[in-house]
Structure 1
Amino acid sequence: MPKPTVLLIEDDFSLAEIVTYNLQREGYEVVLATDGEEGLRQAKLKLPGVIILDLMLPVLDGLEVCRRLRADSATTNIRVLMLTAKAEETDQLIGFSLGADDYVTKPFSVKVLMERVKALCRRESQPPGEAMIESQGICIDPIRYIVTINGTPVRLTRSEFRLLESLIRQPGRVFSRFELIDAALGDDTLVLERTIDVHVRSLRKKMGDSAHLIETVRGVGYNFRDPSKPSSQGDEQRDASCAESADS
């Protein structure tokens, strides 16, 4: 089976040459764009399987490119790996909130980057569920990948959708961060535990007043609030999660 096309949007020619060489050696067809506008054009023209996207780009920066990719029905499902020197958690949060699937910071190991690309290529959509999932105003359609909260559609990234679906299917169950990495990102994804925290913060922001339904269990991970078992501990977790969301 042929490997998918990778679109590399990078204005550092020496770095682009190294990444291109290694991708081609792994069997990928590589398309190179050196500014954001050209990257968007190539994405619509080639419809690659994966886009490696630098943030600091001429003409259009990487965040704007990602925003436009997700807003266009033709490119909204293309997997995006952000490649950037910006390592602050706030930058990661912005990237994930705009729809990035993964994030690698410079300087990086070429081997690690190749594994991240492979992981994105292997990642497939979860099998469709048998029915709609509803709880406390949140409704998930696993077949059409649609989420509504109190009747209002909420646009989630693929990873955020999987994360919410994993939690809501088993309300009250505490998931460790490693379990959520496996469930939401795939067990072949090379990420740190902290990556899940970034995804949760992004998801909570999009959930608005329902953000408290994802509770933080300190030192362990997260759970979706069980409506049948209200407790003072749950209220403390809700307050903590809301404060965390407000701080992010």
Structure 2
Amino acid sequence: MAPILLVEDHELNRDMLIRRLNRAGLEVIPAGDGQQALDLMRSKQPRVVLMDMNLPVMDGWTACRTARQDDSIKHIPIIALTAHASEADRQLAIEAGCDDYATKPVDFPGLLIKIKKLSGPSS
């Protein structure tokens, strides 16, 4: 089964999410910025991307818009992970190309449901 790509620049947040996702039986590939995320999406073809929106090098907003213009990766579902919790922020993430939205701190059981929903029946 294809891995999940976790794009998070804060090491503590990234490590905590990787441990929890691994315990849930998911293989995780980490990335620290939007450009690295795009490169890994192209090379690894993850089944879902968990994308922090405030990232160095290339932010998550730009990475999502870029992914949606690339035929080789535009099919990969993206879940925005952000501390921005307003309805307007959620709408901006959807407009940027995200398929779903999760706020920080992460509701982990809810995130697992979103991952399963976007991964399809084989997850």
Q: Same fold (TM over 0.5)?
A: yes
Once superposed, what is the RMSD of the aligned Cα atoms? 1.5
Does 1:81 find its partner at 2:76? no
Larger radius of gyration: 1
* 1:122-137 mapped onto 2 (5 Å cutoff): 122=120
2:35 & 2:121 partners in 1: Cα distance?
27
State the partner residue of 1:46. 44
Q: Please point out which of 69, 72, 80 is paired with 1:71.
A: 69
State the partner residue of 2:103. 105
Please give the secondary structure, in 2, of the residue aligned with 1:92. helix
Offset, 1:123: 6.3
* 1:9-28 mapped onto 2 (5 Å cutoff): 9-28=7-26
2:12 & 2:110 partners in 1: Cα distance?
18
Offset, 1:100: 0.8
Offset, 1:26: 2.1
Q: What 5-or-longer segments of structure 1 have no aligned partner? A: 125-248
Q: Please point out which of 52, 58, 61 is paired with 1:60.
A: 58
TM-score, structure 2 as length reference: 0.92
State the partner residue of 2:112. 114
1:52 & 1:108 partners in 2: Cα distance?
11
- Superposed CA offset, 1:19-51 (max 9, x none): 111211222221000111111111111010000
Offset, 1:120: 1.4
State the partner residue of 1:212. none
1:76 & 1:92 partners in 2: Cα distance?
20
1:38 & 1:17 partners in 2: Cα distance?
17
TM-score, structure 1 as length reference: 0.47
User: How many matched pairs?
Assistant: 122
Offset, 1:18: 1.4
2:105 & 2:24 partners in 1: Cα distance?
21
One-letter identity of the residue aligned with 2:75: N
Q: Please point out which of 30, 33, 55 is paired with 1:32.
A: 30
Higher relative CO (Cα under 8 Å, sequence separation at least 6) belongs to 2
Structure 1 outlier segments of 4+, above 3 Å: none
Please give the secondary structure, in 2, of the residue aligned with 1:86. coil
Q: Give the 3 Å change call, closer, same or farther, for CA 123–103 of structure 1 in structure 2.
A: farther
